[in-house]
């Protein structure tokens, strides 16, 4: 039917995962970090999906459902935290959210 194999999915998910990691670690914008988290989760979803499709991993589809639920909840809470952060430090730069003594 198709020549798409497991490796295709895994590489795609790896690319998305690393881009998401990049966004989380390197970008100095909290919202972009949140975007990066979503990308990571999506990459994980794709991984689950690939394995459920190609390796008859029955729990894979349900895992996807649960991950999406988690993602939604976590995004809501994260945004609430970001709002607080913005209120306290007047910036969306996570480096500014730093009360360490220099």
* Binders of another protein in range 29-58 (CB under 8 A): 29, 31-36, 38-39, 42, 45-46, 49, 51-57
Least distance between another protein and beta carbon 102 (Å) = 9
Least distance between another protein and beta carbon 98 (Å) = 4
Least distance between another protein and beta carbon 48 (Å) = 10
Does the protein bind another protein through residue 99 (CB under 8 A)?
yes
d(CA 70, CA 64): 10
- 2-31 binders of another protein (CB under 8 A): 2-4, 6-8, 10-12, 14-16, 18-29, 31
Does the protein bind another protein through residue 93 (CB under 8 A)?
yes
Cα 59 to Cα 64, 65, 68, distances in angstroms: 9, 10, 14
Taken in order 4, 5, 9, 15, the sign of the CA dihedral is negative
């Amino acid at each position: 039917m198709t020549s798409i194999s497991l490796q295709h999915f895994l590489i795609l998910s790896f690319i998305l995962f690393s881009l998401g990691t990049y966004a989380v670690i390197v970008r100095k914008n909290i919202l972009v970090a949140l975007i990066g988290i979503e990308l990571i989760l999506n990459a994980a979803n794709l991984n689950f999906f690939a394995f459920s499709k190609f390796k008859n991993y029955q729990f894979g589809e349900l895992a996807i459902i649960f991950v999406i639920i988690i993602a939604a909840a976590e995004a809501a809470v994260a945004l609430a935290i970001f709002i607080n952060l913005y209120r306290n430090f007047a910036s969306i730069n996570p480096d500014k959210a730093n009360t360490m003594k220099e």
